[in-house]
Amino acid sequence: MQETITIPNKLNSIQIVLDRVKRIHKKDNVTQESIQRIMIVLDELLSNIIKYSFQDNEEHFIEVDYVFNRDAGQVEINIRDDGRGFDLNLYPICEDGLNEGGKGIKILKELSDHIHYFREGNLNNNKIWIQANCLTT
């Protein structure tokens, strides 16, 4: 199963992606806990891109490729944007509980199996793999 979702670089647009992913998994047997983890990872990554990747006030578009591999029990997400880009693997994680910054990246890294960043032409690609466990019948 593969789907591409395109949204403008507005925080409110994240809900479009989250709702679409919920619909994708509505009729399969992926556990609620796995879906919630996917929601959190998408929210962290998309909000990070929308807040920090664009340095002008122009409208930009963000493309989310969502692939659910049922046999592997894994979701593969590739998010493309034309902002300044950042490799999440190079960002330090925040250890201070009371500090407001850096928590999102720590959560994102902990809940993902693997994160890979690469630049292709003028596009940043953030590729993330997350477990999608299915209920056994």
User: Which CB sits closer to another protein, 2 or 92?
Assistant: 92
CA distance 51 to 41: 15
CA distance 46 to 43: 5
Q: Is 76 among the residues that bind another protein (CB under 8 A)?
A: no
> Which helix (H) or strand (E) segment is 67 a member of?
strand 61-69
CA-wise closest residue to 3 among 31, 42, 36: 42
User: Which CB sits closer to another protein, 12 or 55?
Assistant: 12
Q: Is 40 among the residues that bind another protein (CB under 8 A)?
A: yes
User: Which CB sits closer to another protein, 45 or 120?
Assistant: 45
Q: Is 110 among the residues that bind another protein (CB under 8 A)?
A: yes
Q: Is 98 among the residues that bind another protein (CB under 8 A)?
A: yes
Q: Is 43 among the residues that bind another protein (CB under 8 A)?
A: yes
Q: Please report, for residues 37, 75, 127, the alpha-carbon distance to residue 24 in angstroms, rounded to integers and kept in the order given.
A: 15, 12, 19
Of 2, 4, 6, 11, which one interacts with another protein (CB under 8 A)? 11
Binding piece for another protein, criterion CB under 8 A, among 55-63, 67-75, 80-88, 93-101: 93-101
CA-wise closest residue to 42 among 134, 135, 126, 102: 126
CA distance 60 to 62: 7
Residues engaged in binding another protein (CB under 8 A): 11-12, 14-15, 18, 32-33, 36-37, 39-40, 43-44, 46-47, 95-98, 100, 103-104, 106-107, 110-111
